Structures are given as C-alpha cells and as structure tokens.
Amino acid sequence: MISNEMFENIFVFGVIVSIPLVFILFKWLKTRGVDTNNKLVQISITLGLATVFIVIPFLFTGIPFIVKILIIIVATIFGLANYFAIDRGQMALRKLFGKNDK
C-alpha cells in the first residue's frame, strides 16, 4: 500500500507525462496513416493511458478493494459519457453554425 501523499505525487506525475504523450502518440499514429479522428482510436488511446497512469497507482492505495473497483467503473462510465456528450455538443454546434464538413 502507498500513502496518500505518494499517490498524489504519482497521480500528478502521470498527468504531466500523459498529456504530452497523447499529442506525441496522435502525431505518430497520423504519420503511420491511422485515422486519429476515429472515435474508437481516441477512446482506446485515452483508456490505455488512463489505465497505466491513473488506475494502476490507484489500486495501490489503502481503500478497500471493492470500493476501488466501484470507483474505477463509475469513473470510466462518467469519462465515456463526458466524451460522447462533448461530441454531441460539437455536432449540434456544427449544425447550428452550418459547418457540416464532418
């Protein structure tokens, strides 16, 4: 088990590392010919980085295991719902302002 302060440090380090890594990974995939506008690609990259830099350190905290699993499931559901809500908002704004190029 790790202390709360150590978890905070690992979490902040994970966020600092994963944000530039997302841009680097998207750029690298785009040069390889992968369509990075595809929702499945975006979700899989996000979930992969979240698992490595957030979920794994979270599993080593002192919270009971069942609570950890519930928090991870609920956070994943809310994250996916947020992704699709933002996507729907973008579609509505594109339709409203007449930019239907996508």
Does 92 reside within a domain?
yes
| Overall number of domains in the chain | 1
Query: What is the Cα–Cα distance from 13 to 83, expressed in whole angstroms?
Result: 23
Residue 102 lies in a domain: no
Is 89 within a domain? yes
Burial of residue 45 (number of CB atoms within 10 Å: 0-12, 13-18, 19+) = middle
Give the residue numbers spanning the domain of 12.
Answer: 4-97
The CA distance from 74 to 89, in Å, is 22
Determine the pLDDT at residue 102: 54
What is the Cα–Cα distance from 19 to 37, expressed in whole angstroms? 18
pLDDT computed for residue 101 by the predictor: 61
pLDDT digits (tens, 9 = 90+) for 15-70: 898 889 889 999 999 999 989 888 888 888 888 888 888 888 888 888 888 998 99
Alpha helices (H) along the chain: 4-31, 39-50, 56-58, 65-97
